[in-house]
Amino acid sequence: MRRLLRGAVAGLLALPLFLASSPPAHAAPDPLAMTSGFYVDPNSGPAVWAAANPGDGRAPAIRDSIASVPMARWFGSWSGDIGAATGSFVGAAQAADKLPILVAYNMYGRDACGGHSGGGAPSPSAYATWIAAFASGIGSRPAVVIVEPDALGDYSCMNQDQINERQNMLINALSEFRSKAPNAWVYLDAGNPGWADASTMADRLHASGVSLARGFSLNVSNYIPTSDNAAYAGAVNQALGQRHGYSKPFVIDTSRNGNGSNGEWCNPGGRRIGTPSQEGGSGAEMLLWLKTPGESDGDCGVGSGSTAGQFLPEVAYKMIYGY
């Protein structure tokens, strides 16, 4: 997944947070108030690995510090029947009286400019069918959904027709969640502070239908400190307010930002797990583990020889301790 740090965040910290967010047009109830907390996925990569390797000296730390933390499950072309897949996951969470976190990652032309996580639906119409089934699988049950990491971060290799096509796909996706998953809080991904300046990202969010969503997400699969992301969110909301007359809540991926960023995006060494999933924090509506610590970004860095999404126990183990 491409997470290039293209610009400095200098100056963003001086901007005030613009947090007087207007309520979404369809004010769904707080999904955390409908449950007893976030759902811990028993079938996450680290949980499965720890259960299968009880004699490995790394297993207790990975089980206790990573596998036991609520984190997102990602859904894409590998998920098979998507309505059944999301329905099963959300149903398991409902049975446990917990709130599931889902990531939709199947955009047509996905990660077109990065390439490590390229792929996605074979056409815009196929994506429309897929996302409608994704939302239908959730139905009226509470959930948190992150929509399409990478989608708005980098337009550098796309022409205007491709950009328009992508924005229309996102508008349709958010409309499907609004109608088919009314108790889900849905966040359109907005990249990170190093990808696009806040004013540009505000315009991209607006053009892609963020007014239909609960809010936007930041730092998915990246390492940038929570405080930098919060400052960036404030600047994005300032621009949304000034240009479009509204602002939105935001969530931050804290799964791998405990040591901040060293400027590398693809399996950098020396990173550390961050604040576990929680409601609130640093002005965010939620701090969430969206990327699974120890999951590879691709054949690069300390994950050399791996594929994107592959769980690497040694990387996970080192991330617990920050080395």
56-62: Cβ within 8 A, 24+ apart: 56/313, 58/313, 58/314, 58/316, 58/317, 61/317, 61/320, 62/294, 62/313, 62/316, 62/317, 62/320
Q: Which of 232, 224, 288 is nearest to 4 (CA)?
A: 224
Neighbours of 242 (CB within 10 A): 12
Catalytic residue among 41, 111, 150, 189: 150
Q: Which of 112, 104, 107, 94 is nearest to 39 (CA)?
A: 94
Q: 130 a known binding residue?
A: no
Half-sphere exposure of 181 (CA within 13 A, CB side): 31
The answer to whether 308 touches 289, Cβ cutoff 8 Å, is no
Q: To the nearest 10°, the Cα dihedral for 232, 190, 309, 143?
A: 110
Q: 98 a known binding residue?
A: no
Supply 165's token pair. 């096509």
Instruction: For the chain, report the end-to-end CA distance as a whole number of angstroms.
Output: 22
Whether 150 sits among the annotated catalytic residues: the reply is yes
Q: 295 a known binding residue?
A: yes
Q: 176 a known binding residue?
A: no
Whether 97 sits among the annotated catalytic residues: the reply is no
Catalytic residue among 41, 189, 228, 297: 297
Q: 318 a known binding residue?
A: no
Beta strands 101-104 and 73-75, pairing class = parallel
Q: 314 a known binding residue?
A: no
Kindly tell me the number of DSSP H helices and DSSP E strands found in the chain.
8, 8
Q: CA 289 to CA 274: how far, in whole Å? A: 8
- Residues contributing to the annotated binding site for substrate: 74, 195, 222, 265, 291, 295
Catalytic residue ranges: 150, 297
Q: Which residues make up each annotated binding site? A: 74, 195, 222, 265, 291, 295
